[in-house]
A and B are shown apart, each in its own frame.
Chain A
């Protein structure tokens, strides 16, 4: 039986080999690129791009960590770059081959998680804030407003330990990414108190319930919120006073890639203003590319005003002990 499978595998491999153009394997989040831009790159450089999508950083890491995944370019969230870098999974970016890096917004040219921009090129970013129904509730200003009994049964929080624990900590005046056990204990009490008011812990699925008016307020990612806000004019989005988390997905080249040169070419291509703008339009999220942003319509949901941006927090990666502690508390909250 093994031999048969083997022969079949060889056959499948052989049938894939008939296209002789050089190829590049790009693994990205779903709907994070304009397919036309991929095709245009294929035509320009006469290469073939195998474009795949993943659902979570963990799914991507599980493959990348083997060092034999076959992918050349992946898009980890900023906090995952450092651990990947430490494990030797990422190639160092060669700035000589990325002449268009200057198109990035100033804050992304030297971000706090990777000041010399060696690990990954900031690509798209989003924040967590509050969506609310303008017609039925007054505008919230703080995370603390999500503990209002008026929202009882018509409020949702994200189904995500980092975001939920983080804002409970912010409400108490502690750091978003605290790993202090006493502070996390207090955050858990807050979360349990709020849980009585919640309809559910929901991620992107809450979008339709917001549009239909069943849910009046929700903790939500700006990207999903923008879809809902553009789908129904009666919704608003705010960046809370206590601060809010920001996440940036970065284009990184895996060290295992035998096609470093072509991979750099593709990253530079993604930095072209027209390409970056087309991709941001499809992804419906905020681009890190300043030159592209001027080509896009302004958007108060996706791009916080400068003042609000100063309250933004880029959460760092947590070590595994802290992660386990947080996961345990999260389980206690959800089952409590």
Chain B
């Protein structure tokens, strides 16, 4: 009974801000005082082409970088597990704990230096590259955790029965890792979607993301339109998490 109360309080503490956000997204007034139910901020958000473009860019970047990072990160984790490479896996943690601003500035320096002979500009491609770079560590760590409980002899058994190494990997190892890969992909999606610091440093003319649009509104005071958009994001990501839970249970 006590435990249940404690859990309820903890959950409330975690999610109360989100509830407040969602409630005020339906407020008819402009300020944080309840005036009545209205959908005007949702309508305003739907008309705001900058927000919509930002949302679209964010989704595009999140899905592209999550796909690339999940692929590379999973293979990296598998390789490190096979070769038992402690230095490499320690390297992953380093990239995980490096402050974002440092990662961002170093990526920017790299891009600016390479642009001298590549004749490119900052844009969508640099943001996706940057997001892949920092998501790989998350993916690898999640997949590595699952690999730790995996017995290589399962793969060997498959190969004894005539499977090639590739076939054994795809038919035995990948299905075993599937829940971890799905979780890692969702994590990559989420970290990419809400990153501001690194993104704002490496973004160019065509790659303004939703967090950047919202952040740029701060000077004038955040408008309730942002509440509406954020509520939609919470619902979309909530649904994604539920779907992945379902998938994992199967």
The closest CB in chain A to the CB of B126 belongs to A9
Q: Cβ of B121 and Cβ of A53 under 8 Å apart?
A: no
Q: Cβ of A208 and Cβ of B128 under 8 Å apart?
A: no
Q: Cβ of B50 and Cβ of A53 under 8 Å apart?
A: yes
Q: Is A207 positioned at the interface, with any CB of B under 8 Å from its CB?
A: yes
Q: Cβ of A4 and Cβ of B220 under 8 Å apart?
A: no
Interface residues on A, range: 35 or more
Contact of B205 among A6, A59, A70 (CB under 8 A): A70
Tell me which residues from 278 to 327 in chain A have a Cβ below 8 Å from any Cβ of chain B: none
Q: Is A29 positioned at the interface, with any CB of B under 8 Å from its CB?
A: yes
Q: Is B11 positioned at the interface, with any CB of A under 8 Å from its CB?
A: no
- Min Cβ gap B49→A in Å is 6
- Assuming the contacts A30-B216, A53-B208, A207-B221, asked whether A1 and B122 have C-beta atoms less than 8 A apart, the reply is no
The closest CB in chain B to the CB of A16 belongs to B206
Cβ of B212: which chain A residues have Cβ within 8 Å of it? Answer: 53
The closest CB in chain B to the CB of A1 belongs to B72
Q: Which of A87-95, A177-185, A223-231, A261-269 contacts B (4 or more CB under 8 A)?
A: A223-231
Q: Cβ of B33 and Cβ of A12 under 8 Å apart?
A: no
Cβ of B143: which chain A residues have Cβ within 8 Å of it? Answer: none
Q: Which of A61-69, A141-149, A233-241 contacts B (4 or more CB under 8 A)?
A: A61-69
Q: Cβ of B220 and Cβ of A66 under 8 Å apart?
A: no
- Min Cβ gap A230→B in Å is 10
Cβ of A227: which chain B residues have Cβ within 8 Å of it? Answer: 221
The closest CB in chain B to the CB of A23 belongs to B205
Q: Is B175 positioned at the interface, with any CB of A under 8 Å from its CB?
A: no
Q: Cβ of B112 and Cβ of A25 under 8 Å apart?
A: no
Q: Cβ of A53 and Cβ of B216 under 8 Å apart?
A: yes
Q: Cβ of A8 and Cβ of B218 under 8 Å apart?
A: no
Q: How far is the CA of A243 from the CA of B158 in the complex (A)?
A: 83
Q: Is A56 positioned at the interface, with any CB of B under 8 Å from its CB?
A: yes
Q: Is A203 positioned at the interface, with any CB of B under 8 Å from its CB?
A: yes
Q: Is A97 positioned at the interface, with any CB of B under 8 Å from its CB?
A: no
Cβ of A69: which chain B residues have Cβ within 8 Å of it? Answer: 121-122, 204-205
Q: How far is the CA of A208 from the CA of B205 in the complex (A)?
A: 33
Q: Cβ of B218 and Cβ of A25 under 8 Å apart?
A: no
- Min Cβ gap B102→A in Å is 15
- Min Cβ gap A286→B in Å is 14
The closest CB in chain A to the CB of B124 belongs to A12
- Assuming the contacts A68-B121, A211-B31, asked whether A59 and B132 have C-beta atoms less than 8 A apart, the reply is no
Cβ of B129: which chain A residues have Cβ within 8 Å of it? Answer: 5, 9
Q: Cβ of B112 and Cβ of A68 under 8 Å apart?
A: yes
Cβ of A29: which chain B residues have Cβ within 8 Å of it? Answer: 216, 219
Cβ of A1: which chain B residues have Cβ within 8 Å of it? Answer: 68, 72, 132
Q: Cβ of B132 and Cβ of A5 under 8 Å apart?
A: yes
- Min Cβ gap B218→A in Å is 6
Q: Cβ of B124 and Cβ of A9 under 8 Å apart?
A: yes
- Min Cβ gap B38→A in Å is 16
Cβ of A55: which chain B residues have Cβ within 8 Å of it? Answer: 215-216, 218-219
Q: Mark A1-25, 1 if CB is under 8 A from B, else 0.
A: 1001110111011001000000001
Q: Mark B39-75, 1 if CB is under 8 A from A, else 0.
A: 0000000001110000000000000100010001000
- Assuming the contacts A207-B31, A224-B221, asked whether A59 and B123 have C-beta atoms less than 8 A apart, the reply is no
Q: Is B201 positioned at the interface, with any CB of A under 8 Å from its CB?
A: yes
Tell me which residues from 39 to 82 in chain A have a Cβ below 8 Å from any Cβ of chain B: 50-56, 59, 62-63, 66, 68-71
Q: How far is the CA of A25 from the CA of B122 in the complex (A)?
A: 13
Q: Is A110 positioned at the interface, with any CB of B under 8 Å from its CB?
A: no
Q: How far is the CA of A1 from the CA of B139 in the complex (A)?
A: 15
Contact of B115 among A68, A71, A223 (CB under 8 A): A68
The closest CB in chain A to the CB of B67 belongs to A8
Q: Is B217 positioned at the interface, with any CB of A under 8 Å from its CB?
A: yes
The closest CB in chain B to the CB of A232 belongs to B31
Q: Cβ of B216 and Cβ of A54 under 8 Å apart?
A: yes
Q: How far is the CA of A1 from the CA of B136 in the complex (A)?
A: 12
Q: Is A137 positioned at the interface, with any CB of B under 8 Å from its CB?
A: no
- Min Cβ gap A64→B in Å is 12
The closest CB in chain B to the CB of A35 belongs to B49
Q: Is B173 positioned at the interface, with any CB of A under 8 Å from its CB?
A: no
Q: How far is the CA of A53 from the CA of B204 in the complex (A)?
A: 11
Contact of A8 among B32, B50, B64 (CB under 8 A): B64
Q: Cβ of B216 and Cβ of A211 under 8 Å apart?
A: no
- Min Cβ gap A66→B in Å is 6
Cβ of A224: which chain B residues have Cβ within 8 Å of it? Answer: 220-221
Q: How far is the CA of A223 from the CA of B219 in the complex (A)?
A: 10
- Min Cβ gap B55→A in Å is 14
- Min Cβ gap A67→B in Å is 10
The closest CB in chain B to the CB of A54 belongs to B216
Residue pairs across A and B with Cβ atoms less than 8 A apart, 11 shown, are A8-B128, A9-B123, A27-B205, A31-B223, A53-B208, A55-B216, A62-B201, A68-B112, A204-B220, A204-B222, A208-B31
Interface residues in chain A, defined as those with a beta carbon under 8 Å from any beta carbon in chain B: 1, 4-6, 8-10, 12-13, 16, 25, 27, 29-31, 35, 50-56, 59, 62-63, 66, 68-71, 203-205, 207-208, 211-212, 223-224, 227, 231
Closest 5 A/B residue pairs (Cβ): A9-B125, A204-B221, A70-B205, A53-B216, A30-B216
For the complex with contacts A8-B128, A13-B123, 19 further pairs of A-B residues with Cβ separation under 8 Å are A1-B132, A4-B68, A5-B129, A16-B206, A51-B50, A53-B212, A53-B216, A54-B216, A55-B218, A55-B219, A63-B122, A68-B112, A68-B121, A69-B121, A70-B205, A204-B218, A208-B32, A224-B221, A231-B30
